[in-house]
Amino acid sequence: MKDIAQQSNKRTNIPQLMPGQMKMNKDTIIFFKSLFWDYQVSEENIITIIELGECNGLTRKSLLSRALKSRRWYEIKKILSPELLTEALSEDVLKTLFPKSLFLKYNYVRKLLSQ
């Protein structure tokens, strides 16, 4: 299964985090799990999505996009590691945001943080 996820990640250019690279505490897992209220997602699947980029059709990009769409900035900033925060503010994730005002808000945040 791990090999399939790794091959899939190579095709879609999803960067992988090494196991343990992100500090995954219970609050972080609960935060991410709550984003997928409309899916049955286990804690193990959340960890796999974060570490490998994809699990059972759910991607880290969709997870980060949902975080930006549904949570407040200070909550996101508190929960996400610097690596995931950088990825969340990447053009690839930001282009999934709607309405456009939300895209503009986070694009501005990205520009401020990159200075």
Q: What angle do CA 60, 100, 103 make, to 5 degrees?
A: 40
pLDDT at 6: 43
Give the up-direction half-sphere exposure of residue 50: CA atoms within 13 A in the CB hemisphere. Answer: 26
Q: Which are the contacts of 9, defined by CB distance < 8 A and separation ≥ 6? A: 15, 16, 52, 53, 54
pLDDT at 9: 43
**For residue range 56-110, what is the model confidence (pLDDT) as tens digits?**
999 999 999 999 999 999 999 999 989 999 999 999 999 999 999 999 999 999 9
Residue 40 has pLDDT above 60, yes or no: yes
pTM tops 0.75, yes or no: yes
Q: What angle do CA 23, 94, 57 make, to 5 degrees?
A: 65
**For residue range 5-29, what is the model confidence (pLDDT) as tens digits?**
344 344 445 555 544 455 678 888 9
Residue 51 has pLDDT above 80, yes or no: yes
